[in-house]
Amino acid sequence: MFTNRNPSTSMHKILEHSLVTIFPKKTPEDCSIIFIKFVDSNSDNFNLLDELKYINMVCMLHLYQEGPSDGYLILVDLKEMSFGHVVKIRPLLTKNFFYYLQEAMPVRLKGIHFFNPVPFMDTFLSLVKPFLKKEMLDTLYVHETIDALTKFVPLECLPVDYGGSEETAAHLHKKIRNKLIENTAVFDWEETLTVDESKRMKESKMNDFFGIDGSFKKLEID
């Protein structure tokens, strides 16, 4: 997820077919809003790994340029989601991403809000919920209408095509694509920070998560 992230080449396709951005305006609680939606419903254009890279790139670039917020809300418009997208969800990759999101990404996640739910919503949620901590499950919401959503996200924070006062989603899409391309050097620099596993002196005993071997729950002294 942290390699091959050039926005103008390897990531170009996903940038055209989905939108991940952070709204200009924060909530009254000083929470930034991460907005995610598919631009089209053709699941042939969907690649889960690239989508997760895209989310991480947008969040990290926002942190570098704007600094941290008191919290973050994830807002997901499911209107263009098809069952073909769900079929392409890979459990292990999803598990690793949610672990990273909740334990390692430098954001304080305050809630996940889905709206425009799809008929197969239960199937989709069954693939997501097992990887969320209890405190995140308690702040996961599915909203049938914009009115229900605005109990948590003020209307003025939303794009004008959602009834708000900010720029349209299409305009935000164009702006974030251009911003990512303009900052390709940032992602090239980040890739230099990854671990070179080939230089380990002995065989790695990594578990599924980030090279962490065992725990400190028990310390034995000879």
Looking at residue 207, what is its pLDDT? Answer: 52
Looking at residue 222, what is its pLDDT? Answer: 46
Looking at residue 196, what is its pLDDT? Answer: 78
Which amino acid is residue 198, in one-letter code? S
Residues 6 or more apart in contact with residue 216 via CB below 8 angstroms? none
What DSSP assignment string belongs to 12-62? HHHHHHEEEEE-SSPPTT-EEEEEEEESS--GGG--HHHHHHHHHHHHHHH
pLDDT in tens for each of the 222 residues of the chain? 888 898 888 888 899 999 999 999 999 999 999 999 999 889 999 999 999 999 999 999 999 999 989 999 999 999 999 999 999 999 999 999 999 999 999 999 999 999 999 999 999 999 999 999 999 999 999 999 999 999 999 999 999 999 999 999 999 999 999 999 999 999 999 888 877 778 877 765 555 454 444 444 444 554
For the record, the structure tokens of 83 come out as: 């069952």
For the chain, state the CA radius of gyration: 19
Q: In what order do the strands lie in the sheet with 109-115?
A: 18-22, 31-38, 71-77, 109-115, 140-143
Q: Is 214 left (phi over 0), alpha (psi -120 to 50) or beta?
A: left
Alpha helices in the chain (DSSP H): 12-17, 48-66, 83-87, 91-103, 121-128, 134-137, 146-149, 169-182, 184-191
Domain 12-199 = CATH 3.90.1720.10? no
Looking at residue 205, what is its pLDDT? Answer: 55
| Domain boundary assignment for the chain | 12-199
Cα–Cα distance list, 131 to 76, 85, 103, 118, 136 (Å): 17, 18, 12, 21, 10
Looking at residue 198, what is its pLDDT? Answer: 82
Q: Which of 125, 69, 122, 64 is nearest to 94 (CA)?
A: 125
Q: Global pTM?
A: 0.86
